[in-house]
Every structure is written in structure tokens, then in C-alpha cells.
Structure 1
């Protein structure tokens, strides 16, 4: 028992030091997220669907394809957050990875507020499944959106939004010597649910 006493004393002091450090971190976090010291970093993850029509006018059909988007930005003011977005959008048999400059904003200070967003950039297709007969190239992307934000804590919230996304894609198909180049401009209504952290 005497041999274990120094070890128990050391563990006791480590436990006290750990609790003191955790309390200090919690206090510092509470001060950093208070209204007087707003959090400057804003991260956001969004999941949803892109709705639109595919095919020509005679044989068009409505489709809903999944979309995922991650936003990281710096909050200059509640009305202006500037950052970058990266995502995964599925169009028919094409997987587009948009990389864009994004702007976000909250109109009100309350627990519930209208929000807006605008993304503009380039959609790459390097993750899309290509064959020897078909090559796919990405293109410019533009997506404005509006929605609502509901706070769940000092620096976390849920968002629900609706938007419009246009994405350009070019396909080059070579089938039995017949080469066909097609420029596609996908136009989709987006419905998303997100989480701000």
C-alpha cells in the first residue's frame, strides 16, 4: 500500500489538473461564443436533392438526384460570410464535384432568421466514371439560394433552403468511329438541409 501511495497521489493531482483545464476551456469557449465575441469561423454541411427534367422535350422526365456540399468561411458580419465550397452532385450518369467561391449571410440576429447564399465556380468531373468511348469535362457552375436558419446552440444551427443550380458539362463520345460532342447545361431546383458549426 505504501508503494502505491505516490502513484495514487500523482493520479489525484492529474485528475484535479484535468478538471481545472476542462473548466477553463469551457469558460473560454463560452466567452468566445457569447454575443459580445462572435465566432469568426463558419462551417456548414448540406445534404439534399436536385430536381429537374432530363431528355428532350418529347421524352423528358423528372429526376431527383442527391447532392452534398461543404462550406468553410470567415464571418465578417452576420450579413456577410465569405468562403469556399466543395461538393458532390449527381446528374444522370455524371458525378460533378463543384469547387466554388461562396457567400452566406443571416438577415436577423434572433434564434430564427432568413438566410441567403450564392456559389459560383467550376464543376470538375475527375471522379465521374468514364469509359474508353466517352470523355466527360466539367464546366462553370452558379447557384443562388435562400432559406431559414434555426439556432440549436451558441454556435450551431440547422438550415433549410431552396435554390437554383446551373452546371455546364461537355461529353465527347466516340462509338464505332462516330464522334459526337454534346454540351449540356443542367438546370436544377435544389432542396437542402444543413448543419452550421
Structure 2
């Protein structure tokens, strides 16, 4: 069993090495902005901004990188800020001018909720997106997509000397627009 795993690992690394030598990964960057409509009792609608940078391993198709974002609630009675730090993978399905893509961000989101001061914690962050990409010139493209954002959140309250942890999802469906370069 160990020998089979070792052989598979060596085969996988040699194939990956061959692909990398045939074409070196090219830098790619993304800047996205959008609006997320909060769903659920504890979710707040947010304006979002994120940037991701990394390498394109299959030219025009597969991007892998990392990034950071900022979400600011737009509801006057629910002041929430979140800052996700994430790994990012994107796959573009065709070489056509209007190219469909899927994008996946996963990581940790830091959270500040003014309604619960002194005990906020972030948690798991996950944001899949599906959309289309349009060329505007050279290597620059404009992206439009539909996304779902999941942000786990916790806060702590104290009641008569007892500490209580509350966990909830602060997420929603959203629309994104961005630029890739």
C-alpha cells in the first residue's frame, strides 16, 4: 500500500513538473467589488471589496492565489465589518470573448459587530462565485458574477457572571463586478 502511494506521488509530481517546465505560471491579479444581500436573522447586507493575486497555471484557464477582502454593512441599525483572508482558485471554461468562470474563495474572516462589543470573533469564510468574463484590451478583462458568502461568526455575552458563546452565520447572496489583469 505504501509503495503504491509513493509511486502515485512520484508520478503526480513528475507530471506537474513537466507541465510547469513546458509553461511557467504567469502572474494574475483580480479586484472585485459588489453587494451581498444578507440572509438569515443575524446576517447584514454588505458592500464588499476584495483583491486576489497569484499565478495562472493553465494559461487562460486555471488561476490559484490568495487574497484579502473587506465587507462593510449598509444597514444603519446593524454595524458590521468583516475582513476575510483567503485562498482563491478560479477556472475559466472557454477561450471565447464571453468566457464563463467559477471562482472559489476559502479562508478565515475576521469580524467586528458593533451590536456585540468586546466579544466578537470571526470564523470560516467561504465564497463560491459563478460568472462571465469579458475582454477590454490586452490581458485586462471585466468580470460579472453571482456569489454566495458564508461567514461563521461568534460573540460572547455575560449574564449574571456566566459567559455564553453564540455562533451564527453572517452570509448572503450577492452580485460582483471586477477587473482582472
Shift of 1:53: 2.8
Structure 1 segments unaligned to the other structure (5+ residues): 1-36, 57-61
- Equivalence map 1:26-65=2 (5 Å): 40-55=26-41, 64-65=45-46
The C-alpha deviation readout for 1:110-148, integer Å capped at 9, x for no partner, is 2211011011111123xx366995310110111111100
What SS does the corresponding residue of 1:152 show, helix, strand or coil?
A: strand
Given candidates 70, 76, 79, the residue that maps to 1:88 is: 70
CA distance in 1, matches of 2:83, 2:157: 21
Gaps of 5+ in 2: 1-22
Partners in 2 of 1:41 and 1:114 — Cα distance?
Answer: 20
| Structure 1: distance between partners of 2:147 and 2:138 | 27
Please tell me whether the aligned partners of residues 144 and 178 of structure 2 are also in contact (alpha carbons under 8 angstroms).
Answer: yes
Note the C-alpha offset of 1:64. 2.9
The aligned counterpart of 1:79 is 61
Task: Report the TM-score, using the length of structure 2 for normalisation.
Answer: 0.75
CA distance in 2, matches of 1:123, 1:46: 17
Aligned to 1:153: 137
Q: Does 1:118 align with 2:104?
A: yes
Q: Number of matched residues?
A: 154
Secondary structure of the residue aligned to 1:55 is coil
CA contact (8 A) 1:133 1:175 kept: no
Structure 2 equivalent of residue 144 of structure 1: 128
Say which one has the larger Rg.
1
Q: Report the TM-score, using the length of structure 1 for normalisation.
A: 0.69
CA RMSD, 1 decimal: 2.6
- Measure how far apart 1:101 and its partner are: 0.5
Give the structure, 1 or 2, with the largest relative contact order (CA under 8 Å, sep 6 or more): 2
Deviates more, 1:140-149 or 1:38-47: 38-47
- Residue 47 (structure 2) pairs with residue 66 (structure 1): yes
Equivalent residues of 1:87, 1:99 under 8 A apart: yes
- Give the distance between the partners of 1:66 and 1:120, measured in 2 at CA: 19
Distance 1:171 1:139 in 2: 11
User: Match of 2:86?
Assistant: 100
Deviation at 1:40, TM superposition (A): 1.1
Bigger proportion of residues as strand:
2
| Structure 1 residues 39 and 149, CA gap change in structure 2 (3 angstroms) | farther
